[in-house]
Amino acid sequence: MTVRDEVPGLGGDAILDHIEFAVADAEQSRRFYEAALHPFGMTVILRVGPERTRTGGTRYGVGRDGYPRIWFHDGEAPGSPMHLALATTNRRVVDAFHAAALAAGGTDNGAPGIREHYHPNYYAAFVLDPDGNNVEAVCQVPDREVMSRP
């Protein structure tokens, strides 16, 4: 049973939002992925310099339609735990994911809440799986309940 089954009208279908992984050389990988993913209509959407990254390396976001879905960075050993984000249009699904993942043995890596440093509607929760992979649930739309209050 899913949260969607338990709470009518929740709209909890999650889809892949983005994935991130470490590479040995971000510039070399940028050239590779830009060429390899071109047939899918994907290009580099965003570059984040080392001064703004957790690893001290360069990050690239590749995608299409203005949204980066594949991220890679250097400054960390390839094969390090990866980051997987699942998207939903309902913040209650983010909350339910976090609770269920912790109950299943995950380790809290960020309680549900707004991540203003991404944007004002980036509501997310993070859990480390048993192998240390960072799994995220994210809702990037305004909270309908808050918006509907007088």
Cβ atoms 27, 58 nearer than 8 A: yes
Say if 13 falls within a structural domain.
Answer: no
pTM, rounded to two decimals = 0.71
117 φ, ψ to 5°?
A: -65, -15
Say if 31 falls within a structural domain.
Answer: no
Give alpha helix (H) positions in 9-52. 26-36
Say if 86 falls within a structural domain.
Answer: yes
Please say if the pLDDT value at position 14 is more than 60. Answer: no
Question: Would residue 11 be called left, alpha or beta, if left means φ above 0 and alpha means ψ between -120 and 50 degrees?
Answer: left
Number of domains within the chain: 1
pLDDT in tens, 41-57: 889 999 999 999 888 99
Strands 15-22, 67-73: parallel, antiparallel or unpaired by DSSP? parallel
Q: Percent of the chain scored above 90 by pLDDT?
A: 63
Say if 39 falls within a structural domain.
Answer: no
Q: What is the mean pLDDT of the chain?
A: 86
Q: Strands of the chain (E only): list them.
A: 15-22, 43-48, 59-64, 67-73, 83-88, 107-114, 123-128, 134-139
pLDDT in tens, 84-138: 999 999 999 999 999 999 999 999 999 999 999 999 999 999 999 887 889 999 9
Q: What is the DSSP letter of 23?
A: -
Say if 23 falls within a structural domain.
Answer: no
Mean pLDDT value across residues 13-25? 85
pLDDT in tens, 118-130: 999 999 999 998 8
CATH number of the domain bearing residue 128: 3.10.180.10
Structural domain harbouring 86: 82-150
* pLDDT-derived band at 11, boundaries 50, 70, 90: very low
Say if 47 falls within a structural domain.
Answer: no
Cβ atoms 70, 61 nearer than 8 A: yes
Q: Percent of the chain scored above 70 by pLDDT?
A: 86
Question: Would residue 104 be called left, alpha or beta, if left means φ above 0 and alpha means ψ between -120 and 50 degrees?
Answer: alpha
pLDDT value for 133: 87
Say if 97 falls within a structural domain.
Answer: yes
Say if 77 falls within a structural domain.
Answer: no
Strand order in the sheet with 83-88: 43-48, 59-64, 67-73, 15-22, 83-88, 134-139, 123-128, 107-114
